[in-house]
Chains A and B, each alone.
Chain A
């Protein structure tokens, strides 16, 4: 590998570390507000700006979470929900439309509990899993609305800042 190749690889590793750090810090900063989070926003924005590199940052982020918090079903939800959000972010990348990203962000918030239900089915069975989802609907609504607000307000300024400096 020549010098440019090494530099480029080093840069990518730094980006991955920075993305994981931003995800963890923003998650922790808003942890006191249940289901109001900036992780979805950052994953979608990172997918837009850094492309597939986000898929390398997510395992780092999930590993940090697993080290910090007691193991539970949340861990298995994280294993597929965050990557799914990243993949949607990558698909929407071509258009770079604030509205598309805002809708995606909102849908993930509204559907977070429903997506998480899949993990509970083997443990709790279908009826209890559905009860679990229904009990969480008020927080899913808060989650969806806050995701919409975050993405709608922050999409343009953050995208511009990141693109200017990367």
Chain B
């Protein structure tokens, strides 16, 4: 088999693999939900104090919901994958600076996405937790 044929077969295999992965993502990936959703966001700071935010939102993703939560203030560094949150309600956490970070949970499990791509569903309970590195 000559080199060109081998490369062509390899390219076809790669395209098929990408198509298969994309299909799995489209069919089984988390989807956004249109319309109003009732959610809660709980911030747990470094002293384990909890602050609860309850809101009704049309937000598709967590970031927009956080922006809509009255009294919740946050900021961070923008990256290609959205905001990496470093400050919540005035408390700073960044591993390289102070050995801690803000962890995000949804319904008791780690968020699989960043705040810009984490879908919001009706009834979701989000937690933003100050997490010291172990």
Name the residue on A nearest B111 (C-beta): A135
Q: Contact between A137 and B24 (Cβ–Cβ < 8 Å)? A: yes
CB distance from B94 to the nearest CB of A (A): 10
Classify chain B's interface size. Answer: 20 to 34
How many Å from the CB of A112 to the closest CB on chain B?
Answer: 12
Q: Which residues of B contact A138 (CB under 8 A)?
A: 25
| A137 and B21 in contact, given A32-B80, A71-B133 (Cβ under 8 angstroms) | yes
Q: Does B49 contact A (CB under 8 A)?
A: no
Residue B25 contacts which of A34, A70, A124, A137 (CB distance < 8 angstroms)? A137
A158 to chain B, nearest CB (A): 20
* Nearest CB on A from B18, distance (A): 6
Q: Is the C-beta of B10 less than 8 angstroms from some C-beta in chain A?
A: yes
Shortest distance from the beta carbon of B27 to any chain A beta carbon, whole Å: 9
The yes or no answer to B48 lying at the interface (CB within 8 A) is no
Number of A-B contacts (CB under 8 A): 58
A interface, by DSSP: helix, strand, loop or mixed? helix
> Is A25 part of the contact surface with B, judged by Cβ < 8 Å?
no
Chain B's closest residue to A138 (CB) is B25
A165 to chain B, nearest CB (A): 28
Q: Which residues of A contact B28 (CB under 8 A)?
A: 134
B92 to chain A, nearest CB (A): 15
B24 in contact with A132 (CB, 8 Å): no
Asked if A33 and B112 make an inter-chain contact with CB atoms under 8 angstroms apart, the answer reads no
In the assembly, what is the distance between CA of A135 and CA of B79, in Å?
A: 18
| Interchain CB contact under 8 A, B95 and A137 | no
Min CB gap B50→A, angstroms: 23
- Chain B CB within 8 A of A110 CB: yes
Residue in B closest to A128 when the chains form the complex, CB atoms:
B109
Name the one of B10, B17, B81 contacting A99, with C-beta atoms under 8 angstroms.
Answer: B10
Which residues 118-140 of A sit at the B interface, judged by CB distance below 8 A? 124, 128, 131-132, 134-138, 140
Judge whether A141 and B18 touch: CB under 8 Å.
yes
Query: Which 7 pairs, one residue from A and one from B, show the smallest C-beta to C-beta distance?
Result: A135-B112, A70-B133, A137-B25, A70-B95, A132-B112, A134-B29, A137-B21
Q: CB within 8 Å of A: which residues of B?
A: 3, 6-7, 10, 13-14, 17-18, 21-22, 24-25, 28-30, 79-81, 95, 99, 101, 109-110, 112-113, 133-134
Q: List 25 A-B contacts (CB under 8 A).
A: A33-B80, A34-B81, A69-B95, A71-B133, A99-B3, A99-B6, A99-B7, A102-B10, A103-B10, A103-B13, A110-B21, A124-B109, A131-B112, A132-B110, A134-B24, A134-B28, A135-B29, A135-B112, A135-B113, A137-B24, A137-B29, A138-B25, A140-B21, A144-B18, A145-B18
Footprint of B on A, CB under 8 Å? 32-34, 69-71, 99, 102-103, 106, 110, 124, 128, 131-132, 134-138, 140-141, 144-145, 148
